[in-house]
């Protein structure tokens, strides 16, 4: 009878799980608070700095008698940003017309006669046209490049097919790949890579930029299609 009772009795846990102490819980709460508030706080802070900077610059261009601050008992943040947007709209509307195009072509012809200025202007114009162009002319796809040596891989962005003298000198199917630096993706390297040497990724360009800025901390979830362990270097070509 006693043996039967001992066998049916539930087994008692050998050891109980210790609850985290007060210090550990406070540390967890503190880190959670930082994770939640830091992105919001930094974003608001940078937005305020941008608005204040633009307001200050635009206010310096407005004559004192037309400054609305002189006639209002309080400051209205964002008036400079609004004025800048209106000015850009007016310039864009003027530049889209026939007379505007003629005026800007005349101005560019004058700039082309100044040696140093024309180089700076040409480079800046090309950069802005590339950044604000259609997706076919900007970052198109996220890829992996074997860089800086074999066995090491870096995240890059395809910007287009290689053309011109580079394409003629190297008789291969090359693509332009921008290799950004971390955590500042505005600087980096331009590589001319054979298409067959690239590993095409499923992540979007925005997800790739987030991954670069966060130094790999923010990793986008892999797409449901395909096998994560089997990636063909020629996929997507």
Give the chain as a 3 state SS string.
CHHHHHHHCCCCCCCCCCCCCHHHHHHHHHHHHHHHHHHHHHHHHHHHHHHHHHHHHHHHHCCHHHCHHHHCCCCCCCHHHHHHHHHHHHHHHHHHCHHHHHHHHHHHHHHCCCHHHHHHHHHHHHHHHHHCCCCCCCCCEEEEEECCCCCCEEEEEEEEECCHHHHHHCCCCEEEEEEECCCCCCCEEEEEEEHHHCEECCCCHHHHHHHHHCCCCCCCCCCCCCCCCCCCCCCCC
The model's pLDDT over 6-29, given as tens digits with 9 standing for 90+, comes to: 555 555 555 556 777 888 889 889
Instruction: Check whether 224 has a pLDDT greater than 70.
Output: no
The model's pLDDT over 94-118, given as tens digits with 9 standing for 90+, comes to: 888 888 888 888 988 898 888 888 8
Mean pLDDT (whole number) for 209-219:
88
Instruction: Check whether 181 has a pLDDT greater than 50.
Output: yes
What pLDDT shows up at residue 10? 53
Instruction: Check whether 157 has a pLDDT greater than 90.
Output: yes
The model's pLDDT over 44-61, given as tens digits with 9 standing for 90+, comes to: 999 999 998 988 888 778
The model's pLDDT over 61-91, given as tens digits with 9 standing for 90+, comes to: 877 777 777 777 777 788 888 888 998 899 8
């Amino acid at each position: 009878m006693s043996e039967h009772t001992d066998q049916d009795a539930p087994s008692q846990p050998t050891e109980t799980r210790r609850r985290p102490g007060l210090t550990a819980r406070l540390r967890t709460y503190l880190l959670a608070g930082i994770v939640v508030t830091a992105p919001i706080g930094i974003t608001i802070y940078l937005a305020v700095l941008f608005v204040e900077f633009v307001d200050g610059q635009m206010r310096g261009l407005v004559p004192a008698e037309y400054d609305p601050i002189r006639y209002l008992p309080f400051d209205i943040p964002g008036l400079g940003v609004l004025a800048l947007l209106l000015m850009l709209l007016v310039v864009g509307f003027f530049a889209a017309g026939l007379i505007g195009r003629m005026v800007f072509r005349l101005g560019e012809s004058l700039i082309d006669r100044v040696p140093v200025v024309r180089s700076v202007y040409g480079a800046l114009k090309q950069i802005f046209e590339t950044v604000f162009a259609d997706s076919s002319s900007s970052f198109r796809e996220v890829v992996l490049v074997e860089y800086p040596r074999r066995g090491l891989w870096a995240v890059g962005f395809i910007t287009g097919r290689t053309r011109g003298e580079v394409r003629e000198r190297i008789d291969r199917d090359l693509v332009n790949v921008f290799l950004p630096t971390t955590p500042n993706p505005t600087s980096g390297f331009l590589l001319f890579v054979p298409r067959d040497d690239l590993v095409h990724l499923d992540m979007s360009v925005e997800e790739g930029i987030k991954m670069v800025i966060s130094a790999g901390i923010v990793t986008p979830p892999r797409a449901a299609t395909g096998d994560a362990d089997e990636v063909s270097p020629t996929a997507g070509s």
